[in-house]
Homo-oligomer: A and B are copies of this chain.
Amino acid sequence: MTADLEIIAVKSIGEVTRGADLAGIIAASVELHHRDVVVVTQKIVSKAEGRLVPVDDDGPAARLGVVLDQSVRVLRRRDELVISETSHGFICANAGVDLSNVDEGWAALLPEDPDRSARRIRDGLEAVTGLVLGVVVSDTFGRPWRRGLTDVAIGCAGLAAVVDLRGSPDDRGRALLATEVCVADEVASAAELVMGKAEGIPVAVVRGLDASWFREGSVQAEIVRPTGEDLFR
């Protein structure tokens, strides 16, 4: 039985530093196919884009000033945990500022415009390979009401972020009432299953997604819920 979807961990990316050509590195590390989606973790995108800032020491306390600087609004705070809204409109712990897998004394910030980051990588990969590809930039977020973190999309390119199945008939031919599926987040979560957190696998390839989902997508435009539409902000 052939799989409908395959996910491949790209294990040979190595250390990424400021100015790194991620598209070139990825293209040299894995053989891509038409309509693959390449999932790239935020951490190496931030490193390649030089989104690192010094912090005084290595603990969460040192991070707090950076976190508040990266926040446009703090929603909740308990001890050193800050849940805030970033300039992108993401609501996450510590404004996405991360101390793991970076050099001591440094913190990684989110990319300035993760959709743009995804488009750049996608453009580079398509230029090298001649294929139609999607790119998702992923990060690990918590969520209210449910324990445990899941990976979500913070940027995407070449793939719909949300697929609107509203109005498509169900299997009885009746219209579905509301089924807008956030495929970009599901792709990020699926990829995380092969990445692990501490094994240094920052890239995965998702192969076999529905062909109709390959169009220009945007996390910012499609996923980030405007304040006025949000029942929980």
Contacts and interface: CB of A to CB of B under 8 A. Distances in A.
Interface of A: 1, 3-9, 30-31, 58, 60, 76, 78, 83, 90-91, 99-101, 103-104, 140, 143-152, 161-163, 165, 168-172, 174, 176-177, 179-183, 185-187, 189-190, 192-194, 196-200, 204, 206-210, 222-225, 230-233
Contact of A181 (B149, B174, B182, B200): B149
Contacts of A100: 170, 174, 176-177, 179
A55 to B, nearest CB: 13
B179 A193 contact: no
Given A148-B161, A148-B223, A179-B149, A76 B172 contact: no
Contact of A147 (B90, B101, B169, B223): B223
Does more than half of chain A's interface fall in helix, strand or loop, or is it mixed? loop
Contacts of A232: 76, 144-145, 232
A5 B172 CA distance: 32
Given A76-B232, A169-B198, A171-B199, A146 B183 contact: no
